[in-house]
Amino acid sequence: MSDPELYPVPSEWAQRARMTKAGYEAARVAAHERPDAFWSEQARRLDWFSPPTDIKDVSFDKADFHIRWFANGELNVAWNCLDRHLETRGDETAIIWEGDEPTQSGKLTYRELHAEVCRMANVLKGLGVAKGDRVTIYLPMIPAAAVAMLACARIGAIHSVVFGGFSPDSLAGRIEDCGSKVVITADEGLRGGKRVPLKANVDAALEKVSVDKVLIVSHTNAHIPIVEGRDVRYGEAKHGVDDDCPCEPMNAEDPLFILYTSGSTGKPKGVLHTTGGYLFWAAWTHELVFDYRPGEVFWCTADVGWVTGHSYCVYGPLANGATTLMFEGVPNYPDSSRFWQVVDKHRVEIFYTAPTALRALMREGDGPVKATSRESLRLLGTVGEPINPEAWRWYHEVVGEGRCPIVDTWWQTETGGVLVSPLPGATDLKPGSATKPLPGVELELVDADGTVLEGAASGNLVITDSWPGQMRTVWGDHQRFFDTYFSAYPGKYFTGDGCRRDEDGYYWITGRVDDVINVSGHRMGTAEVESALVLHDVVAEAAVVGFPHDIKGQGIYAYVTLNVGIEPSEELRRDLVAHVRKEIGPIAAPDVIQWAPGLPKTRSGKIMRRILRKIAENDVGALGDTSTLADPAVVDDLVRNRAGA
């Protein structure tokens, strides 16, 4: 009997896709058995100034820990994304920009983008930026964001993009950690009709840390104060600047960018990606997973402040000479048809978004979708969190009218690009499963003790060998890199995710097994939210856990113990939420705050989060063993006064 939940590869895909079932199996074997030959061949998709002969040089073992790919190759990322396309597709569109307001949009050809990147690169040089220097980019989703990233890559500077939704404090922490010389920002951003005061946030951040220069792109033309000697308006600085700028030759292992991401402990870590391995992985996976064809319009709705925006708005598509769409706005502004209107307006063929957006739109019913044509769509994708089968089916049936395969892509900031995903011409789909690993990706499931689980099983997801797009270090803290990812299961990379493998060898990611939560596809450390809460005068202690949320996937549930003598109130609750928004940014605002006279702790003082998670999930019948608690009565109180989540 056939599995009712299996969506076989449509026959037209089986015939014309880049990767068929047989091709996929052959590539998996080749990558496994002859990695040097396989990756050396694949890496020819990039333009190398000096092609690599050293291909893979990796050890995950503590004694000899190192990860290097293409290590004697030389290339430049901007060259690969721009210059090499000029002759063949200089007049084709590189970036379609769709603004927050439907009346605002624009296009840049590869030639125009090249000239603009050269100008910004020359301006940065003029500000004293040189190879290896760090540049923080704090911009809205406008072409200048891609221009700034590529301008850095062109001159060998390392960029650190900070999401425009982060607060001045978060921005300051990230500027300080990597020691940026320059910040590139805009006067303001626009999202859903609201203004985001980017330059004002930079000014506030720079009260805590300092940089040499702030380069300001004008977007809304809002009035902004200028700090003499520090602030430079890009519109003025670029006048008379040469629109050609040579590409700095970079070693494959030279850093390309740092991107901060949350872990289970401490401050966000600066994930470092390199020039050769990362660019290769972004480009290769963009073509393979999305079956990209020259001339097609590719739209990834992620913000460039996240890794998805790095790999699939900018680097992957541009390295492949694609037309990439950058959208500044939000899915429900001016109304819930917006995504699909944009698809029709620009005739988007491949559309890639997050399950949280789909769940929010699904709630509005089919009407806003059906009001549009969507006939240009041929492939759909999701990323960032598990997609529930109901949302998957809605995406497939209503948005894609049953015609478009869905690629549910699993990956992480650390992995540089997609690692587990269906290939539309090779993989039969199961709603809710990211299906199978790409060629060269060696997965295992292990139990808590590290015992390898065979066949159909559930456990922790580890990766036993390297792939070119793997992160190389945590900026400034190589030990933390090793400890975070390679110490739990020696010789293996630990993803932090739980996972089930079914009898067909399909992988089903079940979510994080550490203290990281995934709120609307945004990754957050519960420790970061706790630190923000305890900064408030009235808070003695705080513990934060995730709980299931219909739209966001997970919501933020905070248990707060107030200082002696402070009375809980509705006003105080609002105050604390506002405080976290201010400290980290709106994405970290707790959905629920429960006043906790005490937190469940072991006798050694460790908070038992397992219990807090159960209470937040309203699964209070299954609290498990509470006998090791210092004061079991605390739990009864928390259950009795559970906030109506």
Distance CA 31, CA 492 (A): 18
Distance CA 352, CA 299 (A): 6
413 appears as a binding residue in the annotation: yes
Q: Which of 13, 260, 394, 410 binds ligand WTA (CB under 6 A)?
A: 410
DSSP letters, 175-227, are HHHHT-SEEEEES-EEETTEEE-HHHHHHHHTTTS--SEEEEE-SS-------
| Contact of 360 with 391, CB cutoff 8 Å | no
The minimum distance between CB 119 and ligand WTA, in angstroms, equals 31
The minimum distance between CB 187 and ligand WTA, in angstroms, equals 28
Does residue number 409 form part of the binding site for ligand WTA (CB under 6 A)? yes
534 appears as a binding residue in the annotation: yes
| Contact of 516 with 264, CB cutoff 8 Å | yes
Does residue number 552 form part of the binding site for ligand WTA (CB under 6 A)? no
Those residues with Cβ within 8 angstroms of residue 103's Cβ, 6 or more apart along the chain or in another chain: none
Cβ closest to ligand WTA, residue 170 vs residue 594: 170
Does residue number 378 form part of the binding site for ligand WTA (CB under 6 A)? no
The minimum distance between CB 517 and ligand WTA, in angstroms, equals 9
436 appears as a binding residue in the annotation: no
| Contact of 553 with 518, CB cutoff 8 Å | yes
**Residue 324, token pair as written in the block:** 């990439």
Q: Which of 396, 512, 549, 552 binds ligand WTA (CB under 6 A)?
A: 512
The stretch among 89-97, 157-165, 194-202, 490-498 that binds ligand WTA (CB under 6 A) is 490-498
Indicate if the alpha-carbon torsion angle 599, 603, 607, 613 is positive or negative.
negative
Q: What angle do CA 511, 513, 515 make, to 5 degrees?
A: 105
The stretch among 118-126, 403-411, 568-576, 577-585 that binds ligand WTA (CB under 6 A) is 403-411
* DSSP H or E segment with residue 280: helix 275-290
Does residue number 515 form part of the binding site for ligand WTA (CB under 6 A)? no
Indicate if the alpha-carbon torsion angle 41, 47, 50, 56 is positive or negative.
negative
The stretch among 86-94, 221-229, 289-297, 300-308 that binds ligand WTA (CB under 6 A) is 300-308
- What is the total residue count of the chain? 645
Q: Which of 189, 384, 425, 590 binds ligand WTA (CB under 6 A)?
A: 384
The minimum distance between CB 520 and ligand WTA, in angstroms, equals 11
Cβ closest to ligand WTA, residue 178 vs residue 237: 178
512 appears as a binding residue in the annotation: yes
The minimum distance between CB 512 and ligand WTA, in angstroms, equals 5
Does residue number 385 form part of the binding site for ligand WTA (CB under 6 A)? yes
Contacts to ligand WTA from residues 254-293, by CB under 6 A:
261
515 appears as a binding residue in the annotation: no
Cβ closest to ligand WTA, residue 329 vs residue 496: 496
Does residue number 496 form part of the binding site for ligand WTA (CB under 6 A)? yes
Provide φ and ψ at 609, rounded to 5°.
-65, -30
The stretch among 293-301, 339-347, 509-517, 616-624 that binds ligand WTA (CB under 6 A) is 509-517
**Residue 393, token pair as written in the block:** 């089916």
Indicate if the alpha-carbon torsion angle 139, 145, 149, 155 is positive or negative.
negative
Binding-site residue positions: 191-194, 308, 332, 384-386, 408-413, 497, 512, 520, 523, 534, 536, 539, 581
